């Protein structure tokens, strides 16, 4: 920035980074029982090299989220980020994955992935249908 210069003479620099694509490739188990841990995996692809830094945040439409800051497996152009969260209520929700925080690679977000958590019938029957 040119200090003391009019705003019209200032230059704003913006770093865009290497383009990435994020996709959720797995949610296990799918469907799950409410309260059961669900492991999500997102693949981040970029050319010529996969990211080795940054993080992926998984966010559910029902409010849950989890973050992974280190790839669990990497190929030449793909890095996989994995984390686990549990849904405390039954129902269908969408989950997205967002890749951020890389010094070299740009932000990207996934398409929504649908996940369903179902009622734990063992708990319902054990409590004489009164709920947990």
What are the residue boundaries of the structural domains of the chain, listed by start?
21-126
Please state the pTM of the whole predicted model.
0.80
96 versus 131: which is more confidently predicted?
96
Whether 15 has a pLDDT exceeding 60, the answer reads no
Topology (CATH) of 21-126: Immunoglobulin-like (2.60.40)
Task: Provide mean pLDDT across the span 101-107.
Answer: 94
Residue 74: band (very low, low, confident or very high) from pLDDT cuts 50, 70, 90: confident
Query: Can you tell me the distance from the alpha carbon of 23 to that of 40, in angstroms, rounded to the nearest whole number?
Result: 11
Task: Provide the pLDDT for residue 1.
Answer: 43
- The strands making up 78-86's β-sheet, listed across from edge to edge, are 21-28, 37-45, 78-86, 73-74
- Higher-confidence residue of 19 and 127: namely 19
């Amino acid at each position: 920035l040119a200090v003391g210069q009019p705003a019209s003479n200032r230059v704003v620099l913006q770093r865009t980074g290497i383009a990435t694509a994020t996709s959720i490739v797995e949610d296990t188990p799918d469907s799950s029982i409410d309260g059961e841990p669900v492991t999500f995996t997102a693949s981040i692809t970029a050319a010529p090299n996969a990211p080795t830094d940054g993080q992926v945040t998984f966010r559910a439409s029902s409010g849950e989220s989890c973050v992974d800051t280190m790839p669990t497996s990497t190929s030449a152009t793909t890095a996989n980020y994995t984390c686990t969260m549990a849904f405390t209520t039954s129902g269908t929700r969408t989950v997205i994955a967002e890749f951020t925080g890389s010094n070299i690679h740009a932000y990207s977000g996934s398409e929504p992935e649908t996940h369903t958590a179902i009622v734990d019938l063992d708990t319902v029957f054990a409590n004489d249908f009164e709920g947990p």
